[in-house]
């Protein structure tokens, strides 16, 4: 399996995030990718390549122009407010909820940052845009590899992407890599694409992007949003809307779920993908379902991920894997490569 590695991911390295009422060191760190890369090389999974550069038209197929413009210039604007800001990350502090307006783009930077975000746990820094932009190229390169006939490809990148919507960031995510890959597969001839999100946290951004579309199925196995982040999407009754009704499948599970129950949900998700008649598959590969993850609550063990990969391979679809969450840093490399090896060896 070919891996496309985002060599610019280290440009994004947050200092602090808001977690349970206090500022703490970020859980989403560069070592996550480095552990996966080291394990790929140790086990000889396949070649590792740098991504091809794609023009911004691919981004505009998923994200709104004013949101992309904000991300591209946010750091310079943050520092322009106060030169001392160069030494600290930018975090949002207010949001336009419910009856507030969101159609007007405020001149004030803090107001605009709140307009385009949904949490205070996603710091933005000098290298965020470059890292996210290169990550998008990884996802698009992996999708292109599959569109060209490869059985599978892996986009190894951070920051992750599945919480990013068309015009919002959060959950450590800025550009939605899985959505970009799915759209690229559509643009290259796949009539129907399925996105399978197996991260512990619901891919609210991916769902929101495709919720009214009949050509992309989004299906997700995740912690119950009654108790688990990101809370406000991910319920089982969210089935899509308009032309996309029936093209959204959420399979929320309670904290503490073990592998046998989780695997049954995966079988249900794959059955839905088969009924949909997908021509290609994008997997949001989150590894925070691992028992030792510090910000999640499922009980999967490292060996379980071999079976996860094999089960996904049994769907028989050209597949793009996109790296998402997984914050048990020492184990994330083994867990990620176990999925990929399980897929390859099926």
CATH number for position 133: 3.40.800.20
Domain membership flag for residue 86: no
| pTM for the predicted model, two decimal places | 0.97
Q: What is the pLDDT of residue 51?
A: 98
Q: What is the pLDDT of residue 279?
A: 98
Q: What is the separation of C-alpha 168 from the centre of its chain, rounded to a whole number of angstroms?
A: 13
Domain membership flag for residue 75: no
Domain membership flag for residue 92: no
- Tally of structural domains, the chain: 1
Q: Which domain holds residue 218?
A: 2-63+129-344
Rounded-to-integer distance, Cα 215 and Cα 189, Å: 12
Q: What is the pLDDT of residue 19?
A: 87
Q: What is the pLDDT of residue 20?
A: 83
- Asked if 219 and 251 touch (Cβ cutoff 8 Å), the reply is yes
Q: What is the pLDDT of residue 262?
A: 98
Domain membership flag for residue 40: yes
Q: What is the pLDDT of residue 21?
A: 85
Q: Report the candidate in 286, 7, 306 with the shortest Cα–Cα distance to residue 134.
A: 7
Q: What is the pLDDT of residue 26?
A: 95
5 a catalytic residue = no
Domain membership flag for residue 212: yes
- Residues of the chain with pLDDT below 50 are none
**Quick one: which H or E segment has residue 24?**
strand 22-25
Of these residues, 9, 35, 162, 163, which one is catalytic? 163
Task: Show the tokens assigned to 12.
Answer: 């994004």
Q: Report the candidate in 169, 149, 184, 175 with the shortest Cα–Cα distance to residue 58.
A: 184
- Asked if 144 and 164 touch (Cβ cutoff 8 Å), the reply is no
Domain membership flag for residue 101: no
Domain membership flag for residue 68: no
Task: Show the tokens assigned to 129.
Answer: 């845009």
Give burial (CB, 10 Å; 0-12/13-18/19+) of 226: exposed
Domain membership flag for residue 117: no
């Amino acid at each position: 399996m070919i891996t496309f590695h985002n060599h610019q991911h280290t440009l994004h390295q947050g200092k602090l995030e808001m977690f349970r009422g206090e500022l703490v060191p970020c859980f989403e760190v560069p070592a996550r990718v480095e552990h996966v890369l080291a394990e790929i090389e140790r086990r000889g999974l396949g070649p590792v390549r740098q991504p091809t550069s794609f023009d911004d038209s691919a981004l505009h197929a998923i994200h709104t122009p004013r949101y992309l413009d904000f991300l591209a210039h946010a750091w310079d604007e943050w520092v322009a407010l106060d030169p001392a800001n160069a030494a600290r990350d930018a975090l949002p502090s207010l949001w336009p909820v419910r009856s507030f307006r969101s159609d007007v783009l405020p001149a004030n930077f803090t107001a605009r940052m709140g307009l385009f975000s949904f949490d205070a746990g996603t710091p933005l820094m000098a290298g965020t845009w470059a890292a996210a932009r290169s990550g998008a190229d990884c996802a698009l390169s992996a999708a292109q590899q599959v569109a060209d006939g490869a059985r599978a490809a892996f986009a190894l990148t951070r920051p992750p992407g599945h919480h990013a919507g068309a015009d919002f960031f959060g959950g450590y995510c800025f550009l939605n890599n899985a959505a970009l890959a799915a759209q690229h597969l559509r643009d290259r001839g796949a009539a129907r694409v399925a996105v399978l999100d197996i991260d512990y946290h619901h891919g609210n951004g991916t769902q929101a992007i495709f919720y009214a579309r009949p050509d992309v199925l989004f299906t997700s196995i995740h912690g119950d949003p009654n108790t688990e982040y990101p809370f406000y999407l991910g319920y089982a009754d969210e089935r899509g809307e308009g032309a996309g009704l029936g093209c959204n499948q959420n399979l929320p599970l309670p904290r503490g779920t073990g592998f046998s129950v989780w695997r049954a949900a995966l079988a249900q998700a794959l059955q839905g993908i088969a009924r949909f008649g997908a021509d290609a598959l994008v997997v949001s590969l989150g590894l925070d379902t691992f028992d030792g993850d510090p910000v999640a609550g499922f009980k999967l063990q490292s060996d379980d991920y071999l079976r996860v990969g094999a089960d996904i391979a049994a769907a028989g679809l050209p597949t793009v894997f996109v790296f998402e969450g997984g914050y048990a840093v020492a184990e994330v490399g083994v867990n990620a490569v176990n999925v990929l090896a399980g897929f390859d060896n099926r």
